[in-house]
Amino acid sequence: MDAFLAGIERRAFQMARIAIGDPDEALDLVQDSMIKLVQSYSAKPQTEWQPLFFRILKNRIIDHQRRGNVRRRVMAWFTPRSDDEDAFDPVAVAPGLESDQPDRQVGNADAIDALETAIQALPERQQQAFLLRTVQECDVKTTAGIMGCSEGSVKTHLSRALAKLRDELTDYR
């Protein structure tokens, strides 16, 4: 189990961070998912650990995103509209995807930032399909199992995601 978790932790962290945009929250989600896998599925055959783990992580990401959506809607209700420059702007203070984050040490940080922003903007299912196929490099069948849908649906979600990303990232290609 140690070797398995060590082998997937980077990809898991990347997937969570891209999906929710916050590195610290992403770490929490990864840890929670690891604990859940160990608690509930460590007795399962090792070949099942990967799809099980990423299904757990996917569900936690979804929960986090939906809680965030609810929180943003509630905040919007209580935040008065104002053109005042000093008005509170939650977007401005939210953790961003810019390369000012300490874990970014690549030369083409702008391109990565743009890609991650575009991935974040994808609809939920397209985002899942893209991250599982690209970050986790799961095959179509495994991705379908994790997402709980057919292989055809995975291909559809992925092709739509790629079309959107190509449109968003024409300046960087």
Q: Which stretch binds another protein (CB under 8 A): 60-68, 69-77, 83-91, 134-142?
A: 134-142
Query: Applying CB under 8 A, which of residues 19, 20, 22, 34 lies at the interface with another protein?
Result: 34
Token pair for residue 168? 């968003």
Query: Applying CB under 8 A, which of residues 25, 117, 120, 140 lies at the interface with another protein?
Result: 140
- Is residue 167 close enough to count as binding another protein by CB under 8 A? no
Q: How many of the other CB atoms lie within 10 Å of CB of 44?
A: 11
Q: Which stretch binds another protein (CB under 8 A): 33-41, 55-63, 67-75, 84-92?
A: 33-41
CB of 88 to another protein, least distance (A): 29
Please report, as ranges, the residues that interact with another protein according to CB under 8 A. Answer: 1-2, 5-6, 9-11, 13-14, 23, 27, 30-31, 34-35, 37-39, 42, 102-106, 108, 111-112, 115-116, 133-135, 137, 139-140, 155, 158-159, 162, 165-166, 173
